[in-house]
């Protein structure tokens, strides 16, 4: 999955021949999973039509401060557009537009939106080779770079003038690759390896029946998604769950029993920076597993159980520099029991769930947690979606490495 997935992109198009390439650029953004809002300068519409870009972006295209054809003369709010964006890119960025950006010459909707933007701004210059190296253009580059804007350098090639040299706007595929590489390099968990467990375990009674629990695995999968979106390389060890994940930074290892999960965790733990044990692992399993389906013959049936291996405690016993996070699902004496787990299992942080809290627990889209760290600092959180809870957990990881 591209790092651009889910990103809100404002694409500003100025009036140069390279504007024709923006149809492909918009298509690539959409294919990567981004949401695109196009703003055109009036001159750019001589090179590519708003209808084309609106069709590809699935959004209306804006060009002026208000739509003259509308009877109500509705205002196109440049402030809202600038604040909506996760990132803004001006492509092509002509010498004229670059000069306006550098000097704050706010005479069109694109520049007004640029001046209102709070997000990272990228610009892809496009002009003839002599214009590209002219002192005024170089001064614009320097000023915009000083502002924190990021240049996507022009490429060498044949230009509209018939000359050949630098000044050709970067190809759409190269612009997308540049953005992805730049965004990935700045992700807060880039280079970290995170081990996450998720879901229930099934402990066999016979070839048909098992002991399990109601865990869906959603919390663990949401943590894995959030960690990967932040740049981490994730190993997700999941018990039986219908959830799936599609991200190139997530390796899903499917297991069934507590022993399977134990073995998988110890396979990956040594090479891990962070381990987050979100799985609901069975505490007990049948001591003897029948080879054949047990027939219903007696009025009473007894199964002798034995303890499973404590996966979290076993990781705590051998951890070196790993940041180890456990989960606790309690029904009484929640805080006291969670603190005991921190000590017994050598945890750095525990995520406490209480079945007494409405909206928390298995099979629900929301969760209400309390963080308790190894110093016993207690931080209760509000009821949130499990996706938001996952982000909160990963923010604790980010803070640990800050």
Q: Which two tokens stand for residue 327?
A: 């989960």
Three-state DSSP at 340 gives helix
Three-state DSSP at 207 gives coil
Write down the residue that tokens 């017994």 correspond to: 344
**SS in 3 state form for 84-123?**
HCCEEEEEEECHHHHHHHHHCCCCCHHHHHHHHCCCCEEE
Q: CA 169 to CA 18: how far, in whole Å? A: 7
Q: CA 16 to CA 146: how far, in whole Å? A: 25
* CA distances from residue 6 to 10, 31, 80, 192 in whole angstroms, order as listed: 13, 11, 18, 22
Report phi then psi at 172, rounded to 5: -50, -40
Count the Cβ atoms, other than its own, within 10 Å of residue 326.
26
DSSP string, 118-176: -S-EEEEE---HHHHTSHHHHHHHHHHHHTT-EE-PPEEEE-TTS-EEEEEPPPHHHHH
Three-state DSSP at 313 gives helix
Q: CA 392 to CA 385: how far, in whole Å? A: 11
Active-site annotation, residues: 213
Q: CA 1 to CA 246: how far, in whole Å? A: 7
For residues 341 and 335, is the Cβ–Cβ distance under 8 A? Answer: no
Q: Which two tokens stand for residue 199?
A: 């879901």
Report phi then psi at 250, rounded to 5: -115, 125
Residue 241 neighbours by CB under 8 Å, 6+ apart: 198, 199, 200, 215, 216, 217, 221
């Amino acid at each position: 999955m591209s790092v651009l997935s889910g990103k809100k992109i404002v694409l500003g198009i100025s009036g140069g021949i390279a504007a024709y390439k923006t149809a492909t650029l918009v298509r690539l953004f959409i294919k990567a999973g981004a949401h695109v809002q196009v703003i055109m300068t009036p001159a750019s519409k001589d090179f590519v039509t708003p209808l084309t870009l609106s069709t590809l972006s699935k959004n209306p295209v804006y060009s002026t401060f208000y739509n003259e054809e509308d009877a109500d003369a509705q205002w196109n709010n440049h402030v809202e557009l600038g604040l909506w964006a996760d990132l803004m890119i001006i492509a092509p960025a002509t010498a004229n537009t670059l000069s306006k950006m550098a000097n704050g010459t706010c005479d069109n909707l694109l520049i007004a939106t640029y001046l209102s933007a709070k997000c990272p701004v990228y610009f892809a210059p496009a002009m003839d080779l002599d214009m590209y190296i002219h002192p005024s253009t170089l001064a614009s580059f320097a000023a915009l770079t000083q502002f924190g804007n990021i240049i996507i350098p022009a490429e060498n090639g044949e230009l509209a003038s018939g000359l050949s040299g630098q000044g050709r706007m970067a190809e759409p595929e190269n612009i997308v690759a540049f953005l992805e590489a730049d965004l990935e390099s700045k992700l807060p968990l880039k280079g970290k390896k995170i081990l996450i467990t998720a879901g229930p375990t099934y402990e066999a009674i016979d070839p048909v029946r098992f002991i399990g629990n109601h865990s869906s695995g959603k919390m663990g999968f949401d943590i894995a998604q959030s960690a990967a979106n932040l740049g981490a390389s994730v190993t997700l060890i999941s018990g039986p769950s219908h959830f799936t994940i599609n991200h190139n930074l997530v390796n899903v290892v499917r297991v069934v029993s507590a022993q399977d999960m134990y073995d998988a965790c110890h396979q990956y733990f040594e090479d891990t920076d962070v381990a987050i044990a979100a799985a609901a692992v069975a505490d007990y399993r049948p001591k003897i597993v029948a080879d054949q389906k047990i027939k219903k013959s007696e009025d009473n049936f007894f199964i002798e159980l034995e303890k499973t291996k404590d996966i979290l405690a076993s990781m705590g016993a051998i951890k070196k520099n790993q940041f180890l996070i456990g989960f606790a699902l309690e029904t009484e004496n929640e805080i006291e029991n969670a603190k005991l787990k921190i000590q017994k299992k050598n945890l750095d942080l525990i995520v406490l769930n209480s079945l007494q809290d409405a909206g928390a627990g298995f099979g629900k889209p929301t969760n209400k947690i309390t963080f308790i760290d190894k110093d016993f600092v207690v931080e209760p959180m509000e009821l949130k979606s499990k996706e938001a809870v996952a982000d909160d957990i990963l923010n604790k990881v980010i803070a640990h490495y800050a």
